[in-house]
Amino acid sequence: MKTRKLLLKAVDIEKMAGERKVHFLNSNAVRVNKSLGDAIGLNHIGVHVIYVEPGKDTTEYHKHHYEEECVYVLSGTGTLVIEGETYQFEKGDFVGFPRNTAAHGIVNNGDETLICLVMGQRLQQDVSDYPNKGKRLYRNSGDWNLVDMQHISDPRK
């Protein structure tokens, strides 16, 4: 095995082309994403460095039912929203979301690029709620099904 392929040096990461991503439910959630995990072949955990310009969101406010995720701020500042409560979020801060705990989102309200290390599970199945949009996403082995939460019912009731 060529072990060097498992190592990304800082110079390698700096040279990586970032991918511009816009969230499918939030056109203000624009970020440049460098997938460190993909670069070395990780399949079950996503590891990304993201770059978010001032005034932009990192993603749509959401909650995962099965996947865990976390964010560490490398530079810049933002506002972290957890279950409607807001917190200043800045260099050196870390937040983690065990599965099915809290809806969350981050906005860059600073005057410089917010740079974060984002990590999360990559399960074959997950359910994500988007409370501000009234939507639920069912993800199953590559298929995505987005539904209005008002149409979800429990057949046992």
Tens digit of pLDDT per residue, the chain (157 long)?
789 899 999 999 999 999 999 999 999 999 999 999 999 999 999 999 999 999 999 999 999 999 999 999 999 999 999 999 999 999 999 999 999 999 999 999 999 999 999 999 999 999 999 999 999 999 999 999 999 999 998 888 8
Q: Looking at residue 1, what is its pLDDT?
A: 75
Contacts of 75 (CB under 8 A, 6+ apart): 91, 112, 113, 114, 115
Q: Looking at residue 156, what is its pLDDT?
A: 87
Domain ranges (residues) in the chain: 18-123
Cα(59)–Cα(129) distance, integer angstroms: 13
Q: Quick one: CATH architecture of 18-123?
A: Sandwich (2.60)
Q: Looking at residue 118, what is its pLDDT?
A: 98
113 phi and psi, to 5 degrees? -60, 130
Contact between 117 and 74 under an 8 Å Cβ cutoff? The reply is yes
Q: The whole model's pTM is what?
A: 0.93
